[in-house]
Structure 1
Amino acid sequence: MISTPRPGEWAELDSGTGLGLEDVAPGTFNMTIQTDRYTCREYAQREREAIWMRVWQVVGRAEDLPNTGDWKKHDIGDQSFIIVRGKDGVLRGFVNACRHRGNALCITETGNAKRGFLCQYHLWSYNLEGKLRGVLREELAGQIDKADNSLLEVPVDTFAGFIFLNPDPQAVPLREYLGEEVYRLLEPYNIDQFTTVMDVKEAIDCNWKVVMDAFEEGYHINGIHPQLLAVLNINPKTARYQFFENHSVAVAPFEVQGAGPQKQVEGILALPETFPGTVAVIPRFQELIAPYQAENGDVDFPDGVTARALLQEATRDVLTGMGLDVSGLTDNQMSDNQGWVLFPNYFMTVRAGECHVVMSAPHPDGDPHHCIWHVASYMYLPEEFRDAVRAEPIVVEEPGSYKYFEALHQDYVQMPRQQKGLRNDRLDHMSLVKEEVVIAHFHSVIDRYMNKAQVNL
């Protein structure tokens, strides 16, 4: 019987289709990045038109709007939109403006409008499909064509449980924008069934691309996250990549520090101190190593058995035992975080049972030295546990008041420091090393959108 390859097999070191660093030929991407794209207000304004008003971007989770009439407001720079769940269960998006005199319909972040939207200025009303339903003193209003004064609709769709919105009414479908391969590779994780366990937004003093760059490479781990070096074995030569038209994915095998079975096991048992998501797996891992453990606690494995493989087996056993479907994932996906970049501003690390997302967007004030960063974590849990752990969104008003976990805090401190350096006039470009090839690809997509907009002027 011939087995069907799993989507995750692309990342296998010996037989996968992913690229290694040595496979990315010199000149494939521009490794010299001009710094004015981080500091120039005029460049930021052109980005607004070329990218932010033209591409699909994540605006929330479908689970945030479970009921008829549930809505949320989403701002992109100075543009404001509403996403609402209709009576038919469909999510729709509209420009957040009454068609009468432009008054904003929704001021708060979320709410419920089961009976539709009512403009508080002159009491024009709209149903959940955006149709103009009522006009104050309609008999005296004159020639008001209700059909021609519906709310202005914008494309909205969902993938992996995330709500995507595109400000461009002529946008290609989301599936076409993301690409069939992105759908195929991500669907086995069942991210649409994950539950939000952290959701934090905060203004930060750096350009939105500084945030994206920071999470698109592991080259900074030695300098910014030295504590991880005591846990992880960082080997760029084993990393694998896939580059799509707009997006990319990279993965490096998860290896704990230490030579020999004993040190490997000790490293895995210490993982919960740095990676809390492993807490539930450790008891099963200890059961699996017990047959190879002497009375004094020393561990020795026969050929073909490794601590990594037992950690993967334990992860699959625990998730399957909770009734969760991980059958479409490879053993390596039990342990290895894949780093996904969905253009323009979505970075996600995902492995079986959990994912962590970083997003960034230009600050509404238009200053390229500021942005809004959004960090969130999601877990795959049985339905009966989801409500108990679901986190409410947090908007941090006072800089430094929210306590991120250690590695994330280190990035939080570092990114404004980079922006300060980028302000220097004589620093006109950055020079990337090969390990930063994902950053180079990301900026090649920016260049393509910016150049296309320039040609269309």
Structure 2
Amino acid sequence: MSEQLKDKSMAFGEARYPDEPSTQDIIASDKVEAPKWVRSESYEYLGSEDISTDRYYDPEFSKKEYDNLWNRTWQFACREEHIPEPGDYYVYDIGRHSFIITRVAENDIRAYYNACLHRGTKLRASNTEGCTQEFKCTFHGWTWNLDGTLKQAVCPWDFPHVEEEKFSLPEAKVETLAGFVFINMDHDAPSLEDYLGPEFMDHINNWGLENRYIQCHVSKLIPANWKLTMEAFMEAYHVIETHPQVAVSNADANSQYDTYGEHVNRFISPLGVLSPHLKGQYTEQDILDQFTVGDASVLGDVDRTLKDGETARQRMADTMRSMFEQATNTDLSDVSDSELLDCFSYTLFPNTFVFPGISLPMVYRFRPDPKDHRMTIYEVFFLRPVPKEGERPDPAEPVYLDEFQSFTEAEGMDPGFGAILDQDTENLIMQQQGVEASAKPGLTLGNYQEIRVRHFEMAVDKYVSGQ
């Protein structure tokens, strides 16, 4: 057993990578100071017990999720830019449920259960969007107005028992935040603001995500349970083994982990800094030469020769500020070095990740495949700043990949970043098979680097138990 494992002098949850700067130490040395939301910390030790593995393959556990979790939580359904004008609609599915998200008026967005109240036919097909002034069933022609009221029942003489005022389309709760449209099937649920909590609300109000647009949208089937798939992106602990090509410029083991209330957690993973695992093996020039954030098309060909005393991190911050300003026609002079460089990842329970940084401006969404709870619909959205001049770009059309396709095949996806996502995908195939084959009935987690996984599964357990 290693000396580190033998050392029990620290209380559980207190250990950090020894003799290395923390994320906050790294950020504090930047030239352009980071804002308060970046310079904050919120870690809490949540225990060291194993996480049961049956949740990843037991169909009964999946049923409890549909019965108690998905119908009681706030979920990101679409962006407001998907439905900019009255009559625009977007279909969002979760399990057996399907919703038509539509803009009825400028400040009136609704989510209708996507089913005809006559014989149950879907009013709009899954994975579709468009514009309309009514929702008409293609089977028998029953029609609803944009505001959900019944417009027409064909042969009304045969339906004297149908009371028009009681046949409006049922709705889910809807709230908007920073350009996102969220829905909740539970009409007794807390407000979205209360659900996410004051700390996160303070953070997101600094990001201006309402002033971004979807530049790329890729959806892929992953042969693993939705929770396993999400958890693969909750820590940087796997970087040194899974993504060795980025470890030279990713301070993976220095990453910071935070939890906020019951429904939000995050990590900050500093970039442009050598992994502690590789200490002494590379110079600052090596770090700069091998730096990648999966966005080579934006970085382009730049001078990568460091001056005396210059760090790789500072050169990359300066370079990326200039390159992103030119590429997106935006002013980033007030944006901190950390926001330009580092990977900020927030989980919004149950199934959304928000990456508010400039270099990795992403949103992930994970949904169980309704046909197989051991499959996941995994989506990646890239949110770029809206240009200062000209019209707001339309959101990119989604690209659909099957489980055997590479992310590098998706139009609009940077090949370098697509290769990173492929590495994660390959791990997930083996992990799903492993948890089902294992004689050990639980997963053993690190107290700090995997705190997001534990925090997430605590919320899962709460909802599945009906609390």
Instruction: Give the TM bin, normalised by the shorter chain.
Output: 0.7 to 0.9
Asked if structure 2 preserves the Cα contact closer than 8 Å seen for 1:65 and 1:85, the reply is yes
Please state whether the residue corresponding to 1:155 is helix, strand or coil: strand
Asked if 1:127 corresponds to 2:158, the answer is no
Aligned-partner residue type, residue 237 of structure 2: Y
Work out the CA distance in 1 between the residues paired with 2:285 and 2:123: 57
1:346 offset after TM fit, Å? 1.2
Q: Could you give the per-residue CA deviations for residues 359-404 of structure 1, whole angstroms, max 9, x where no partner exists?
A: 2111112x33222212222212415577779531012246225536
Work out the CA distance in 1 between the residues paired with 2:244 and 2:442: 27
Asked if structure 1 preserves the Cα contact closer than 8 Å seen for 2:343 and 2:355, the reply is yes
Please state whether the residue corresponding to 2:91 is helix, strand or coil: strand
Work out the CA distance in 1 between the residues paired with 2:72 and 2:53: 23
Q: 2:154 aligns with which of 127, 132, 136?
A: 136
Residue in structure 1 matched with residue 221 of structure 2 by the alignment: 203
Q: Could you give the per-residue CA deviations for residues 69-124 of structure 1, whole angstroms, max 9, x where no partner exists?
A: 12122211111111111144522101111222322211253243432111222322
Asked if 1:247 corresponds to 2:264, the answer is yes
Return closer, same or farther for 1:439/1:8 CA change in 2, 3 Å cut-off: farther
Residue in structure 2 matched with residue 184 of structure 1 by the alignment: 202
Residue in structure 2 matched with residue 78 of structure 1 by the alignment: 96
Q: Which has more helix, going by share of residues?
A: 1
TM-score, normalised by the number of residues in structure 2? 0.81
Q: 2:434 aligns with which of 416, 421, 425?
A: 421
Q: Which runs of 5+ in 2 are unaligned?
A: 1-32, 410-417
Residue in structure 2 matched with residue 377 of structure 1 by the alignment: 382
1:308 offset after TM fit, Å? 2.6
1:320 offset after TM fit, Å? 6.1
Q: Could you give the per-residue CA deviations for residues 261-287 of structure 1, whole angstroms, max 9, x where no partner exists?
A: x9435533553584437516x75xx5x
TM-score, normalised by the number of residues in structure 1? 0.82
Work out the CA distance in 1 between the residues paired with 2:133 and 2:227: 40
Return closer, same or farther for 1:300/1:375 CA change in 2, 3 Å cut-off: same
Please state whether the residue corresponding to 1:55 is helix, strand or coil: coil
Residue in structure 1 matched with residue 25 of structure 2 by the alignment: none
Residue in structure 1 matched with residue 163 of structure 2 by the alignment: 145
Please state whether the residue corresponding to 2:69 is helix, strand or coil: helix
Query: How many residues are aligned here?
Result: 421
Residue in structure 2 matched with residue 351 of structure 1 by the alignment: 357
Residue in structure 2 matched with residue 300 of structure 1 by the alignment: 308
Residue in structure 2 matched with residue 439 of structure 1 by the alignment: 453
Asked if 1:276 corresponds to 2:296, the answer is yes
RMSD: 3.0
Work out the CA distance in 1 between the residues paired with 2:297 and 2:77: 25
Work out the CA distance in 1 between the residues paired with 2:150 and 2:37: 50
Q: Could you give the per-residue CA deviations for residues 185-222 of structure 1, whole angstroms, max 9, x where no partner exists?
A: 02222112222222122222111011111000111112
Work out the CA distance in 2 between the residues paired with 1:115 and 1:94: 14
Q: Post-superposition, which runs of at least 4 consecutive aligned residues in structure 1 deviate over 4 A?
A: 313-323, 325-329, 383-390
Asked if structure 2 preserves the Cα contact closer than 8 Å seen for 1:335 and 1:351, the reply is yes
Worse-matched range after superposition: 395-404 or 194-203? 395-404
Asked if structure 2 preserves the Cα contact closer than 8 Å seen for 1:74 and 1:81, the reply is yes
Identity over aligned pairs, percent:
28
Aligned-partner residue type, residue 417 of structure 1: M
Return closer, same or farther for 1:310/1:229 CA change in 2, 3 Å cut-off: closer
Asked if 1:230 corresponds to 2:255, the answer is no
Return closer, same or farther for 1:265/1:242 CA change in 2, 3 Å cut-off: farther
